[in-house]
Amino acid sequence: MGFEVIKTDSRTKARLGLLTTAHGVVETPVFMDVGTQGTVKALEPRDLEENGAQVVLGNTYHLMLRPGPDVIAAAGGLHQFMRWNGPILTDSGGFQVFSLAKMRKITEEGCRFNSHLDGHEFFLGPKESMSMQRVLGSDIAMVFDECLPYPCDRERAEKSVEQTLRWAKASKDQPHAEGQLVFGIVQGGVYDDLRRHCAEELVKIGFDGYAIGGVSVGEPEEFMYKAVDASEPFLPKDSPRYVMGLGVMHQMAECVARGVDMFDCVIPTRVARHGTAITRKGNVAIKAAKWIFDQGPVEEGCECYCCRNFTRSYVRHLLNAGEILGLRLLTIHNVFALNRFMKDMRSAIAGGSFAEWKEQIRKDTCHE
């Protein structure tokens, strides 16, 4: 198990790679579909396979609360529980330290939460997070960290980075599932020197891969790229780099140009639930009245099951009637669209045309 760079673009830092895990080889750059509670919303595992998904995410915090470690252990781990045979990456629960700010108290050992489900108190730290990820049996486990909000003053950022580094070391020292890779997470907010410091210290600890965290948390787009630029040069070239929580086409292309290999985001399923299709010409509101008689597919030229078989008019009708099939069809399309996008990106890198391809993506999706 490990990571191999098989080609680097001559004009950017974009690269093709192969990440070997216990449940298969992942071609990078890769978009990873989010299945927070052991399912990518509205889809079956066979849907994921048919639509090009390579890696599915699970969330330690949510799965610890429901159904709980005993249930998943009895099933033989998360792969068996959800019947997904491909690679799984599990978040550590550290993002919930950020997102549940009003319901938690941070200590040196970890974070005491009040459950968002019923308010009961529980504790999650490096030991508990890695123990749960060991039960889940994920191919890639993330260290427990603290995700900084935006904006964040420097004094708070400094303390948080040091806490994240201590938690990273504690996470690395915990027992792991057989064959489980462990990734460190670079934090530091908008402060370049803190990003560098965090990256360098994580490399000293030594991980199988490195994520750039604390982006896509409300900051302007340029600060997101700045965080990547401040972190990437200090991460090993022979290890995968992962920007967490990012799933917008032109932003992923820009980050790949900066040397990033992996992404995840809830965008495909979330926007589908609101009636929005992801296309290579930008997002399209399918529920809009303008499509009431439209007999074309959700996206022209798309080869997903939805676009091959149904019209915009019909999918719009389902969505406006509150029919579950509408959400399912649009989710199928969106998951296919992003996985196809990454496949096309890999082809552009392989063919030496990535720089031009990236600029065309920005023009098309941002309507420049």
Same domain assignment for residues 186 and 283:
no
Write down which residue in 243, 261, 279 finishes a domain. Answer: 261
When computed from its CA atoms, the radius of gyration of the chain, rounded to whole angstroms, is 20
How far apart, in Å, do the first and last CA atoms of the chain sit?
42
Query: Do 245 and 308 belong to one domain?
Result: no
The total number of structural domains in the chain stands at 2
User: For residue 130, what pLDDT is reported?
Assistant: 98
pLDDT of 238 reads: 97
Q: Which of 218, 240, 261 is the last residue of a domain?
A: 261
pLDDT given at position 96? 74
Judge if 276 and 245 occupy the same domain: no
324 and 255, same domain (yes or no): no
- What domain range includes position 219? 2-261
Specify whether the CB–CB gap between 5 and 238 falls below 8 A.
yes
- In terms of domains, do 243 and 299 share one? no
316 and 247 assigned to the same domain: no
- Quote the pLDDT of residue 121: 87
pTM beyond 0.85: yes
322, 216: one domain: no
pLDDT at 75: 98
Beta bridge partners of 57: 34, 89
341 and 309 housed in the same domain? yes
Active-site residue numbers?
91, 264
* pLDDT computed for residue 104 by the predictor: 77
pLDDT of residue 101: 67
State the pLDDT at residue 286: 98
Q: What is the pLDDT of residues 14-29, one digit of tens each?
A: 999 999 999 999 999 9
**Shared-domain flag, residues 299 and 196:** no
Q: pLDDT value at position 148?
A: 85
Residue 142: which CATH number? Answer: 3.20.20.105
Does residue 72 share a domain with residue 12?
yes
Q: Extract the residue ranges of the chain whose pLDDT is less than 70.
A: 97-98, 100-101, 367-368
Q: Which of 261, 295, 326 is the last residue of a domain?
A: 261
Residue 1 is predicted with a pLDDT of 81
- pLDDT of 61 reads 92
* Residue 303 confidence (pLDDT): 98
Residues 194 and 288 placed together within one structural domain of the fold? no
Q: How far apart are CA 228 and CA 213, in angstroms?
A: 9
Residues 271 and 222 in one domain: no
Query: What pLDDT is attached to residue 304?
Result: 98
